[in-house]
Amino acid sequence: MALNLHVKIHPVVLFQIVDAYERRNADSHRVIGTLLGSSDKGIVEVTNCFCVPHKEYDDQVEAELSYAMDVYDLNRRVNSNEAIVGWWATGHEVTNHSAVIHEYYSRECNNPVHVTVDTSLQNGRMGLKAYVCVPLGVPNGKPGCMFTSIPIDITCYDPEVFGLHLCEKTMTVGRLRTVSPMLDLNQVAEAGTKMTVLLDQVLAYVEDVLANRVAPNNAVGRSLLDLVNSVPHMTQEQFSEMFNSNVKDLLMVITLSQLIKTQLQFNEKLTLLTSV
């Protein structure tokens, strides 16, 4: 059943949707596009998207479907694992034209999902919702459909997490809002500092629960138990040896990359000298 679907969307998709909204024509109030990704065992994972030019009138919708198929074919050449899984639209609600657009995507894939991104920032935030279309009607009558909400979450690959943290830092660096990626060792130091702060918060929560200052939460307790069980059993000496070994490997990679960079610059200068 389509109602059992669960949508997981990656941050890069949201960035692309917001960028398409910012680049829209002056007379366009809503932007739509195609969602790309994969669907397996009730989980729809959206990893990419693109905008589809369209115009909406009171009684009809005009979309450049040939353009949409051309872009999809080009994307398939780059990543053959991404298929059409649905479509997206800006705004905080489903409109009268959504059923017409959804009908087209129903011919392109089974159980397409519809994702809305509220770029108008209703209630001060960018709302994110997902829907599926459920057919309605009576026997021998005119069929209809109803958009029903389904769960949606944001999921990230490791590089996307790093990119999000880097974007988060631009909020506190001044008017230019530009930051540069840190060196690997600086990232390790920053991660260690954040880990220390989080551990202090966890210890403070546990002490408050034991002292009856805070009501216990079973969900938090189970999460802490899973966290403790996930830590490998090793002595302090074993941990120090493992950490130092990994740091040595990291330093070796950094040194080799710097040597390669220097070698390339040296070869470039030699090429310029010989050409003169």
Amino acid code (one letter) for 248: K
Does 26 reside within a domain?
yes
166-170 average pLDDT score = 78
* Whether residue 198 is found in the same domain as residue 272: no
| Separation of CA 224 from chain center | 26
* Whether residue 226 is found in the same domain as residue 243: no
Does 125 reside within a domain?
yes
Res. 95: pLDDT tops 90: no
Q: Work out the percent of the chain whose per-residue pLDDT is above 70.
A: 93
DSSP 8-state class, residue 91: S
Q: How many domains does the chain have?
A: 3
Q: Residue 110's domain is classified under what CATH number?
A: 3.40.140.10
Q: How far apart are the first and last CA of the chain?
A: 71
Amino acid code (one letter) for 251: L
pLDDT tens column, 50-94: 999 888 887 778 888 888 899 999 999 988 899 999 999 998 888
Quick one: tokens of 237? 């000496």
Cβ atoms of 127 and 92 within 8 Å: the answer is yes
* Whether residue 85 is found in the same domain as residue 102: yes
* Whether residue 107 is found in the same domain as residue 13: yes
Does 187 reside within a domain?
no
Please give the model's pTM, rounded to 2 decimal places.
0.68
Q: What are phi and psi of 92, to 5 degrees?
A: -105, 10
Amino acid code (one letter) for 203: L
- Strand-pair category, 43-52 with 54-56: unpaired
**Farthest-apart Cα atoms in the chain, separation:** 85
Amino acid code (one letter) for 222: R
pLDDT tens column, 106-159: 888 888 999 999 887 777 778 899 999 887 766 666 666 788 899 999 998 877
Does 175 reside within a domain?
no
Range of the structural domain that residue 218 is part of: 194-231
Does 162 reside within a domain?
no
**47 vs 2: CA distance, rounded Å:** 20
* Whether residue 217 is found in the same domain as residue 82: no
